[in-house]
Amino acid sequence: MLDLTVIILTKNEEKNIEKCVSSFKGIVKRFVIVDSYSDDHTKKICFRLNEELSKNGSKLDFYENPWVDYATQFNWAIENTKIDTTWTMRMDADEELLPLLAHEVSEKLNAISHEVNGIVLKRRLVFMGKWIRHGGRYPELLLRIWRTGFGKCEQKVMDEHIVLSEGKTITFINDLQDNNQKDLNWWIHKHNWYSNREVLDHQLTLEKKSEDLLWNTSKQASRKRKIKNKRYYKLPKFFRAHLYFIYRYYIRLGFLDGKEGKIFHFLQAYWYRFLVDSKLYECEKNGTMMEKQGDLKS
């Protein structure tokens, strides 16, 4: 049993949470679920999972806390759930460890040298049942495991990452998988919500209230943040969405991902980016700031 606590934030995740927890294959000492008052069966499933885990010496602790934003909720979990394990991990409810990664974590975590405080994982995305391997989407490198006390979630409105206060990072070989079981209508609804957060985050960045990644995290994540803020957003509105889609779908070979890939790359690289620009344009035209967003409504 690994001396590891896994933090998962939930809101109406009855279709995903059991798959996420079960993917750890019983290797984790503790799961911490922080729920923002789900109105589906998420809570009931979590209590059942705790009963099952307790038979093997593990446990799942369920907390409820009002949603402000992701970073606030996650840092509340770090500060208020009495984490006393050597390692802490961030997981999203729609993610899962693939078997090879579960084995790698089990084999390597206890032997990590003391100068290493963070572990970067490779994430693959599954969309409509299809692994999106092209278009620059794989692998996505994210700092997800850290020595307890050395990591926190950066306080941003959008695109929040775990950052280290000190220490080195290493990267594991095998994959974490994002495989949400909800439908396309939900995906579109979620990205409409994301677009509001993205607009507000960009407005705060322009006001110097939201910065580039300054602390130790995934180098890829830090580089992407800088490219977006210092290059992408310097291009003309609307044209940049068109250019980004061409880059993703043709230059980075997104078309090789088949019909599912065509849907994904168009919606995520064109429609979503165009929607963000449209809302930025509306705010600039009206001289307004985007309102702060609550949690995602079902």
What CATH code is carried by the domain that includes residue 3? 3.90.550.10
Look at residue 14 and tell me if it is in a domain.
yes
Residues 92 and 188 grouped into a single domain: no
Q: How many CA atoms lie within 13 A of 231 on its CB side?
A: 8
**pLDDT band for position 225 (50/70/90)?**
confident
The four Cα atoms 254, 260, 263, 269 give a dihedral, to 10 degrees, of -40
What kind and span of H or E run contains 18?
helix 17-22
257 with 265: CB under 8 angstroms? yes
Last residue of a domain, one of 101, 116, 133: 101
Look at residue 110 and tell me if it is in a domain.
no
Higher pLDDT, 80 or 297: 80
Model confidence pLDDT, tens digit, residues 165-184:
999 999 999 999 999 999 99
Q: How many CB atoms lie within 10 A of CB 59?
A: 15
Q: Is the pLDDT of residue 212 over 90?
A: no
Last residue of a domain, one of 101, 133, 161: 101
List of residues 6+ apart from 230 with CB closer than 8 A: none
Say which DSSP state 245 is in: H
- For 17, the domain range is 1-101
pLDDT value, residue 93? 97
In this prediction, residues 196-215 reach a mean pLDDT of: 79
Look at residue 84 and tell me if it is in a domain.
yes
pLDDT value, residue 210? 55
Q: Is the pLDDT of residue 192 over 90?
A: yes
pLDDT value, residue 209? 62
Please give the backbone phi and psi of residue 40, each rounded to the nearest 5 degrees, phi first.
-110, -150
pTM (global) more than 0.85: yes
Look at residue 261 and tell me if it is in a domain.
yes
Look at residue 112 and tell me if it is in a domain.
no
List of residues 6+ apart from 96 with CB closer than 8 A: 19, 20, 22, 23, 176, 177, 179
Q: Which of 30-39, 93-102, 156-165, 232-241 has the lowest mean pLDDT?
A: 156-165
For the chain, how big is the Rg over CA atoms in Å?
Answer: 19
pLDDT value, residue 218? 81
pLDDT value, residue 2? 96
Closest CA to 190 of 76, 55, 93: 93
Last residue of a domain, one of 52, 79, 101: 101
Please give the backbone phi and psi of residue 202, each rounded to the nearest 5 degrees, phi first.
-65, -40
Look at residue 44 and tell me if it is in a domain.
yes
pLDDT value, residue 213? 55
Burial profile 100-136: b = 16 or more Cβ within 10 angstroms, e = fewer: ebbebbbeebeebeeeebbbbbbbbbbbeeebbebbe
Q: Is the pLDDT of residue 216 over 80?
A: no
Look at residue 162 and tell me if it is in a domain.
no
pLDDT > 70: what percent of the chain?
97
Q: Is the pLDDT of residue 214 over 70?
A: no
Q: How many domains does the chain have?
A: 2
**pLDDT band for position 292 (50/70/90)?**
confident
In this prediction, residues 126-146 reach a mean pLDDT of: 97
Whole-number Å distance between alpha carbons of 43 and 33: 9
Look at residue 279 and tell me if it is in a domain.
yes
Q: CA of 55: how far to CAs of 26, 47, 49, 106, in Å?
A: 10, 13, 10, 19
Please give the backbone phi and psi of residue 233, each rounded to the nearest 5 degrees, phi first.
-75, -5
Identity of residue 147: R
